[in-house]
Amino acid sequence: MDHPDKALLERIKPNVEGTLAGALRITGELKRSFVQEEVTSRARQVLNMLISNGTTIARVHPDTDPLAGLTGFKSMLALKDEYEGLIDLQIVAFPQEGLVKFPGAYEVIEEALKLGADVVGGCPYNENRFEDTKKHIDLVFGLAKKYSKDLDFHADFGDDINDLRSRAIDYIIEKTINEGYQGRVTVGHMITLASVDPSVLESTIRKMKEARINVVPLPATDLYMGGRSDRSRVRRAVLNPVPFVKGGVNIAFSSNNIRNAFTPFGRGDLLLIGSLYEHVAQLGSIADQKMLLDMITYNAARILRIENSYGLEPGKNADLVVLGTKAISDVFLDIPVRRYVIKRGKIIYRSELIEMRNF
C-alpha cells in the first residue's frame, strides 16, 4: 500500500483527462486545503480496508512536501499508534512534488525524519530536468545516510523512454553501490523499464542484482496511467516479474493509490491486484500463482526487512491470513474470502461466506 493520505479523493475531484500530469495537478490543488482530521478519517477508512483484506503490515507514503506540509505525515504517525496490534506501519517521508524544483521541500522531508519517519522517499521523475533528477537522488541518499534510513523511490514513471528523468534507475544503481546501500533501496513503478529493448532490460536486471535493489510494480496505477501518450499499439506499461525473478532480483507488488486522481479504483486488496497482474502480465501457470503469492508475502517481507520475524515457523510472529480456499493455485482465481486475519496470534478480523442456492 502506498498513499492513504490522498486516497478516496476521486469523488471530490476526479481526473477527467486521466493523465499523470492531471493527477499531479488535481492532487496538488486538493493538498493545499488538507485538514488533519479529514485526512486522518480517510486514511483510517483505508487502513480498515487493508486489515479486512488481510494486510498486517504496510509501508505508507504520505505526501510530505510544501503543499501538504506535514499534515498527511502526522496523520499516519497518529494512526500508527492507534492501530498498534492491528497493522504495523512503516512511514515514508515522500517528496511527491520533487525536491529541487520546489523551495522548502527538502526541509519538510528532514523535519519528518526528525519526527519519526521510518524510510526516506524519493520521486525523482517529478523534476524539471535530468540534472535535477540526479540532484534529487543525491539529496535523498544524503538524508538516508544522515538518519540511517532505507530508501523507497517512486521512479521511472513515464511513457517516453528518451526522457532521462524517467530513466533514473542507472543512476540509482550507481549511487546505491557507491554509498554502500546494497539491499536498502526499493524502486516502485518502473514502467519505463517495461518499454525498453530486451537487451537493455537484461543489462539493468544484472546491475540491479549487484546492487540488491528491490522492485515493486504497482499494476493498477501503472496500467491505468501508462501508455496514455500512445495512439496505436498501446503498451501495457506494467513490469513482467518473471525476468526479475529469474535474474535474482527481489520483486513484490502493491496496490498503490486507492480511488483518487492516480487510480480511481481499488479497495486495498492485494489478491485483487494479483488477479489483475496475472491477466496483464500473462501469468497463467501454477508456478506463476506461487510466484505472485511469494511476491506479496516473503518477497515483501524482505523489502520491509522483517524476514527474520515473518513466516509460518515456530518463534516467528503469528501474523497470518486464513483464506477460504484449499489450493495455492486457486488464490488469485477465486479471490477467496478472508476467513481469519490474525495479528500476533490474535484474531483481528473474521468473515464468513453464506450461500443460498436454488439449484
Full pLDDT tens readout for the chain, 359 residues: 689 999 999 999 999 999 999 999 999 999 999 999 999 999 999 999 999 999 999 999 999 999 999 999 999 999 999 999 999 999 999 999 999 999 999 999 999 999 999 999 999 999 999 999 999 999 999 999 999 999 999 999 999 999 999 999 999 999 999 999 999 999 999 999 999 999 999 999 999 999 999 999 999 999 999 999 899 999 999 999 999 999 999 999 999 999 999 999 999 999 999 999 999 999 999 999 999 999 999 999 999 999 999 999 999 999 999 999 999 899 999 999 999 999 999 999 999 888 888 99
Question: Is 49 part of a structural domain of the chain?
Answer: yes
- Give the model's pLDDT for residue 356: 85
Backbone CA torsion sign across 118, 112, 258, 85: positive
CA 287 – CA 270 distance, rounded (Å):
18
- Give the model's pLDDT for residue 1: 65
Instruction: Show the 3-state SS of 5-53.
Output: HHCCCCCCCCCCCCCHHHHHHHHHHHHCCCCHHHHHHHHHHHHHHHHHC
- Distances in Å between the alpha carbon of 131 and those of 101, 188, 331? 11, 21, 45
- Among 334, 257, 249, 250, CA closest to 289: 334
CATH of the domain at 280: 3.20.20.140
Question: Is 349 part of a structural domain of the chain?
Answer: no
Question: Is 326 part of a structural domain of the chain?
Answer: no
CA atoms within 13 A on the CB side of 322: 14
- Give the model's pLDDT for residue 354: 83
Q: Are 62 and 77 in contact (CB under 8 A)?
A: no
Q: Tell whether pTM > 0.85.
A: yes
Question: Is 34 part of a structural domain of the chain?
Answer: yes
- Give the model's pLDDT for residue 148: 98
Residue owning grid cell 524476514: 307
- Tally of domains in the chain: 1
Domain coverage including residue 134 = 4-318
- Give the model's pLDDT for residue 2: 81
Question: Is 353 part of a structural domain of the chain?
Answer: no
User: Residues 196, 272, 229, 164: what is their CA dihedral angle, to the nearest 10 degrees?
Assistant: -40
CA 223 – CA 228 distance, rounded (Å):
10
CA 4 – CA 40 distance, rounded (Å):
9
Question: Is 307 part of a structural domain of the chain?
Answer: yes
Interhelix angle for 105-115 vs 71-82, to 10°? 20
Give the list of residues 6+ apart from residue 241 with CB closer than 8 angstroms, or none: 217, 251, 253, 281, 283, 291, 292, 295
Question: Is 263 part of a structural domain of the chain?
Answer: yes
Question: Is 325 part of a structural domain of the chain?
Answer: no
